[in-house]
Structure 1
Amino acid sequence: MKTKLIKMTMGLGIMALAAQQLQAQPRNCAPREDVIKRLEEIYGETRKGIGIARRGALMEVFASDETGSWTITVTLPGGATCLVASGQSYETLADALPAQGKDA
């Protein structure tokens, strides 16, 4: 359990760093509606997770339950949505939270 928590924390840190880099060098970016439409129509991916990164950037995870493909996007405050990462073998986990008052 502790290892999973560490991996998840590191993953979120990497996504936050990627969001910072995107603000400096917007590549692979398009209007949000176009990106979401493409992810859904071509890859069958729907939104599975969401978070707020630095400076108001919106980080989202899209994935397909059928194929296991996944994509991480960051939408900048100006409206552009940029691709951060993508891959295969996405799985939804439902880990139990630690009891109150106990460390993970």
Structure 2
Amino acid sequence: MFKRLLSTCIVFGMAATAPPAWAMNCADRSVVIERLQSKFSETLTVGGLQNNRQASSLVEIWSSGETGTFTILVTRPNGISCVVAAGTDFFEALPDTTPIGTPS
């Protein structure tokens, strides 16, 4: 009985102290940016502020024309950036323009 209780406590104790899954994708912004630039040749493409009840967060899309990769970051006011999404085959949507002149 004691062995079962002890093993159950150990298993649940380890699960309770394990870091959450989202913590693995977060780090100081300078560290994340350095890795995006050095490993994937990504540069900042677009960004903006996201306002919610707690605080504003900076949302950025980093991309590379060379490698075709992209990364979406959310940076909190404390300077911690989290990778929300990443992928390949990045493209830019160009605006539909009408040629200047008289239609034929």
* TM tier, smaller: 0.5 to 0.7
AA of the residue aligned to 1:42: K
C-alpha deviation, 1:38, in angstroms: 0.2
Question: Structure 1 runs of 4+ off > 6 angstroms?
Answer: none
What are the equivalent positions in structure 2 for 1:1-104 lying under 5 Å apart? 27=23, 28-54=25-51, 55-96=55-96
AA of the residue aligned to 1:61: I
C-alpha deviation, 1:72, in angstroms: 0.1
Q: What is the aligned partner in structure 1 of residue 100 from structure 2?
A: none
Tell which has more relative contact order, 1 or 2 (C-alpha 8 A, sep 6+).
1
State percent identity of aligned pairs: 37
**Matched residues in 2 for 1:73 and 1:82: separation?**
6
**Matched residues in 1 for 2:79 and 2:45: separation?**
20
Count how many residue pairs are aligned between Structure 1 and Structure 2: 73
RMSD in angstroms over aligned alpha carbons?
1.7
Judging by fraction of residues, say which structure has more helix: 1
CA offsets 1:35-82 (integer angstroms, 9 cap, x no match): 000000001111001011122100000001011100000000111011
